């Protein structure tokens, strides 16, 4: 009886001990699994995930997100064996990316913009095949000169980002340089690729490269002169100095003429619509009766004003004035004519000393 009791207790203890040992082993296994799971959730797995994403983006030709994923993967420590693969993927991507600066290499004018935007094209090249790089962030920066431009944009489905130049304000050494390149904002840092930077070089268009239309209003005392000899002499002076000149209009409407030279937009537009150039040289020649010394001997005075106006921007490019030049004659008309003739001669002499500064006044 006692033997049977002892034997039963031994069996129970043996069973309980085995069960306890099994539970401890099970707990140890669970702890290992938990630790392994914690390791899997650490940064290195994100590094691998970003590498996989980058490859997937490349397959879909999404070069922006591919670059972002690659750069982010580079920043993550751990899994050093992935570094070579990441570096190789990045180098191959950058090697195959290329860019072009597309623009009409025409001269620019101060105070004006460009009729056609500058175009910066980014593309991915595999052998002879070119794939447009769409949705690439692009920045435009003025490196030389000053202008109002589009500073940032994105490439379209053709791989092109536009830069509007709305107004050229100044140049350095007669040129302006605008540089374009891609930029990526990644975790607070700017990432660029120097090999994709392209320059747009724009040169100044001097007045001598543009056509100037002359509009002449001449009045001798009370009579408007419709075929101005003095106006023609001033035009010839500009032609002799290398300017491209059109004899536009001998004006008879003084009010319209004065309004235009005073900056009235409607009057200026009226001339702009009638002429073949944006640059207009408004030449105002007029004589006034001065005095009568004795019967048959008269004096007059004459003024001449020349304003070269850019009708597109309503900006005065050049302004020259001469006033109070006297003339005498045996009639009032002849005195006025002599005053205009002498004033024209003096005015051309004055222009001769100012002609080189016309470009500097812009």
- 251-278 pLDDT per residue, tens: 999 999 999 998 888 999 899 889 988 8
150-172 exposure pattern, b = at least 16 Cβ within 10 A, e = fewer: beebebeeebbbbbebeebeebe
User: 154 forms bridges with which residues in the sheet?
Assistant: 137
Cα–Cα distance, 317 to 278 (Å, whole number): 12
Q: Whole domain around residue 112: which residue ranges?
A: 97-206
- 169-202 pLDDT per residue, tens: 988 988 999 999 999 888 888 889 999 999 999 9
Closest CA to 187 of 40, 74, 91: 74
Question: How much is the pLDDT for 9?
Answer: 43
| Residue 85 binned pLDDT confidence (cut-offs 50, 70, 90) | very high
Q: How many residues does the chain have?
A: 362
Considering the domain architecture, whether residues 347 and 265 belong to the same structural domain is answered as: yes
Given 66, 95, 124, which residue is the final one in a domain?
95
Given 95, 128, 156, which residue is the final one in a domain?
95
| Over residues 37-57, mean pLDDT | 73
pTM of the model: 0.60
Strand ranges (E), the chain: 97-102, 118-126, 129-132, 137-144, 146-149, 152-154, 160-163, 165-170, 175-186, 189-192, 198-203, 211-220, 223-225, 244-250, 279-294, 297-310, 315-329
Q: Is the pLDDT of residue 128 over 90?
A: no
- 2-24 pLDDT per residue, tens: 444 444 444 444 444 444 444 43
Question: How much is the pLDDT for 296?
Answer: 76
Question: How much is the pLDDT for 360?
Answer: 53
Question: How much is the pLDDT for 259?
Answer: 92
How far, rounded to the nearest angstrom, does the alpha carbon of residue 287 sit from its chain's CA centroid? Answer: 47
| Over residues 135-155, mean pLDDT | 96
First to last CA, the chain: 126
Considering the domain architecture, whether residues 147 and 235 belong to the same structural domain is answered as: no
- 290-326 pLDDT per residue, tens: 887 777 789 999 999 999 998 877 888 899 999 999 9
What CATH number does the domain containing 233 carry?
A: 3.30.160
| Over residues 326-337, mean pLDDT | 93
Question: How much is the pLDDT for 359?
Answer: 64
Cα–Cα distance, 249 to 222 (Å, whole number): 20
The answer to the question of residue 13 being in a domain is no
């Amino acid at each position: 009886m006692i033997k049977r009791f002892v034997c039963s207790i031994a069996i129970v203890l043996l069973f309980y001990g085995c069960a306890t040992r099994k539970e401890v082993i099970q707990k140890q296994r669970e702890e290992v699994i938990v630790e392994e799971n914690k390791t899997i959730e650490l940064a290195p797995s994100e590094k691998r995930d970003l590498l996989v994403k980058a490859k997937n983006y490349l397959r879909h030709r999404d070069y922006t997100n591919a670059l972002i994923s690659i750069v982010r993967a580079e920043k993550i420590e751990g899994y050093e064996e992935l570094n070579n693969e990441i570096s190789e993927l990045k180098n191959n991507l950058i090697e195959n990316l290329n860019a072009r600066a597309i623009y009409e290499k025409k001269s620019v004018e101060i105070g004006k913009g460009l009729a056609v935007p500058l175009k910066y094209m980014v593309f991915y090249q595999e052998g002879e095949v070119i794939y447009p790089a769409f949705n690439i962030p692009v920045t435009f920066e003025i490196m030389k000169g000053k202008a109002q431009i589009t500073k940032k944009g994105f490439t379209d489905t053709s791989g092109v980002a536009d830069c509007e130049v709305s107004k050229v304000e100044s140049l350095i050494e007669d040129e302006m340089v605008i540089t374009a390149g891609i930029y990526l904002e990644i975790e607070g840092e700017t990432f660029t690729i120097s090999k994709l930077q392209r320059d747009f070089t724009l040169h100044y268009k001097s007045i001598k490269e543009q056509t100037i239309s002359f509009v002449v209003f001449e009045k001798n005392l009370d009579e408007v002169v419709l075929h101005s000899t003095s106006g023609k002499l001033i035009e010839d002076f500009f032609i002799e100095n290398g300017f491209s000149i059109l004899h536009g209009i001998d004006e008879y409407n003084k009010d319209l003429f004065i309004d235009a030279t005073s900056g009235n937009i409607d009057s200026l537009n009226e001339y702009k619509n009638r002429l073949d150039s944006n640059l207009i040289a408004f030449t105002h020649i007029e004589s006034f009766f001065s005095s009568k010394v004795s019967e048959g001997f008269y004096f007059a005075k004459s003024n001449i004003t020349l304003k070269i106006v850019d009708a597109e921007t309503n900006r005065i490019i050049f302004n020259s004035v001469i006033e109070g030049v006297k003339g005498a004659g045996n009639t009032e008309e002849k005195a006025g004519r002599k005053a205009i003739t002498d004033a024209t001669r003096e005015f051309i002499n004055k222009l001769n000393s100012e002609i080189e500064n016309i470009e500097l006044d812009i």
